Amino acid sequence: MTAVSPRRGPAPRGRFLPVAAALAAMALCWLGAPAAVQAQTARQGRAIVARDCTGCHALTGDRMGAGGRAPSFPAIARMSSTTELSVTVFLRTSHAPMPNIMLSPEEISAVAKYIVSLKRGG
């Protein structure tokens, strides 16, 4: 780890650096993974989502969330703001009205790959 000396006072790096490092590592894994592995991971993500998320989110259909309803996963995938990174960050933080579902980093990665895979039509 290179020592970065903060010149303008202490910066809140303590929390940011480990997260950034983890995300960078995940991005590298993603870039290096063969397509077959990616497809398998997306399938694992679909299984996790079917287990934990379908109480609120639909797996199919384009319904957007309205009146406190959760958007379907294809609808989430179609939003231009949705990337593997955005889903990962979303699932690592707590967002009302979603309950705090505790997924492991591997599960979060699989779910993010699954959602982004819907962008390309599955």
- Contact with ligand HEC (CB under 6 A): which of 101, 105, 106, 122? 101
Cβ density class 35-63: b for 16+ within 10 Å, e for less: eeeeeebbebbbebbeebbeeebbeeeee
Residue 77 found at the interface with ligand HEC (CB under 6 A): no
Contact between residue 77 and residue 119 where contact means Cβ atoms under 8 Å apart: yes
Encoded amino acid at 8, one letter: R
Report how many residues bind ligand HEC under the rule CB under 6 A: 20
- Contact with ligand HEC (CB under 6 A): which of 56, 58, 59, 85? 56
Residue 57 found at the interface with ligand HEC (CB under 6 A): yes
Encoded amino acid at 102, one letter: M
- Contact with ligand HEC (CB under 6 A): which of 111, 116, 117, 118? 111
Residue 70 found at the interface with ligand HEC (CB under 6 A): yes
Residue 87 found at the interface with ligand HEC (CB under 6 A): yes
Residue 76 found at the interface with ligand HEC (CB under 6 A): yes
Rg (CA), the chain: 16
